[in-house]
Structure 1
Amino acid sequence: MIPVFEGWGMSYEAAWATSTIAGILLIALPLMLAVAMVIYVDRKIWAAMALRRGPNVVGPFGLLQSFADGLKVFLQETIIPSAANKGLFLIAPIITFTVALAAWAVVPFNSGAVLADINVGLLYILAVSSLGVYGVVMSGWASNSKYPFFSAMRAAAQMISYEVSIGFILICVVLWAGSFNMNAIVVAQRGHGLGIVNGFFFNLLLFPMWVMFLISSLAETARAPFDLTEAESELVAGYQTEYSSMSFALFWLGEYANVLLMCTLNAVLFFGGWLPPLEIGILYWVPGFVWLLLKIAFFFFVFSWIKATVPRFRYDQLMRLGWKVFLPLSLAFVVLVSGWLMFTRYGA
């Protein structure tokens, strides 16, 4: 985009700044619209699973329900508890929402269609997504209420536990691709079926890592069956208990932006991103970003399906799964994948 703006008579610096701002808006504005719509889709899927109709009154087929809910919370009064730390109380939801948007800067939507095509894109996502816990912990502590504080402690332990196994899972992906660059990781998945499957959607060696990554994604975003930070039966509503109005809405927007990010990472890291599912010429007629959106939609349906059908774990079960199952398995697969690559790729 920089040459286009330079052709309009701008200096390089002005063209760079303008193209960067335009790129940010091209990602952020559709993403916020998508967040509003996936909340509607989420509720429709839950309703279908429970043989209900779901949102169907506001707008055609209920499509405007999310916007009506947004208008409702926007018009509500922001209530700050008298004993709360006002500054941290207000900044916590902003951190949660901002961090959820910042991670999208390195996500490739098509070949070369990425805001920041940096060589350490995967490390950037891991670092930025790890910051989300700060908003949750700050909100629970700043509320000066015991139930949000308990929820914040749960969230910190839960996110740290599963980020460890996610880190080892991503090491396997990096070893296979030989790069931290997100575009390079997608391209490295061409014909990666170990000679058995001719496609980009199924790597026999990394498939167990994808299963663990999908489950860890649910825990990382505090989705059911790992929604112990918002467990109404024990914690009223978790760290969000004392929040109202737009502060409450920012937590929800951040949560769904994180869910969409995890769905995107499932597609990009393990299922070929913007590549078609099979090495067939006619499939390349479909634009790459359409394939990516279809994969994201599939993984979001899986997320909603799990939430509608799987009961919540106990907290000790959650911790046992993370530390005693996923951590040893991910470590073992780091050894397995590196050994396979040394034997087949680098040994030759």
Structure 2
Amino acid sequence: MKSILKFLFKLLVVASCIMILLIGGLEINKYLTDYSKEAEQKRELYEIRLKLIEEVDTNYRILKSIVPKWNRFYAELSLKRDRDTVQHKEIEPKDFLIVHQQLFHFNHEIDKIESHKWETYKYKISDLGKYQDTEDLMQWRQEKSHMITKTYILQEQLMYDLEELNKASHDILAFSNSKIYTDNTNIQYNFEYKKFYYYLNKVDKSIYNLLKHQYADNLNHLIRTSSELRNRYRNILLEKEYYKLETQKENAVDTISIALQKCMAQKKNNGINMNNFKYYTKQKDDQLLVLLKKQDSTHKISKQSRTELVDNVNTCLKDLKLQDVAAYYISIQLDDYDYIIKTPDIEIIEKTKNNETYTFQLQYFYRNQVIEEFFVDNIWYPKE
């Protein structure tokens, strides 16, 4: 009897162990499945966020491109050549032909503004929420209901107001071409005239608001919430600086780079011809980005010469005694994928295998900046 009880006890223990293993296995499998779903969800969020950023950025560039012409257009219609008054010139009906043609151009450009990615984004966010309501999703829903939504609503309002402005301009032209004038015609003309300036001011304010706040705030918010996106867009900023370096007609253009070029020409540099380099600098706050590019890649430079070269650049910069500069970010491009890097935190002398090493180190020059700076107030009020 005792042996039977002992056997049953062992059987119970074994069964319990098997049960524990099964339950544990199921829990582990559930955890791995949930982890996999969350990882997939994060990747999908990243992809739709990236597409939304690209759309907002494109719309931003479209609006920035028309601002100079819009400023001149508004100034020609404004009595005091500024936006602090609602007074406008008394324009003859016949002169509205030119006005109407200009408005047609603005309408054509603003029609390029899109919202397809925004619509896809809203659908995707709702669709992803069916599986798991993560913290990321809740954050994105807040964005959808506040900042980004406001921007796209303002875009739609701008397009509507511009269309109404075009209609008013067209009607004024029609009245001016009419051979029959009645009291009703004059009343209707005055109504369309007031309507024209009403929508002119609305369009003007919408353009300013989108450029001053909406687009930049949205892009900064969308990009800064992801370290991967921050790195990506800082790289884009750096690539644009290199493009400016490569496309400048002279070896040195800005004041600091010209002074640096003269200083480097006086150094021995171990026989390196410094006239064969292009120079470019950009200052941001108390930091200076310094880019040099060797235009002839036929002659290789030894490690000793590379060290001497970057040391001489650093010495020349200090000799310039730039009082408002506290940190230098130096990049000397010798060939494709061959850069000498010196920042306040690191120095890379050896040839790099790819661009990631140097771009990552130079990113710190931009600090929290992730998009190109654009100061609409500098161009908004037309100058005489």
Give TM-score, length-normalised by structure 1: 0.29
Q: 1 or 2 for the larger relative contact order (CA 8 Å, sep ≥6)?
A: 1
Relative to its length, the structure with more strand (as a share) is 2
Give TM-score, length-normalised by structure 2: 0.26
Q: Which has the larger radius of gyration?
A: 2
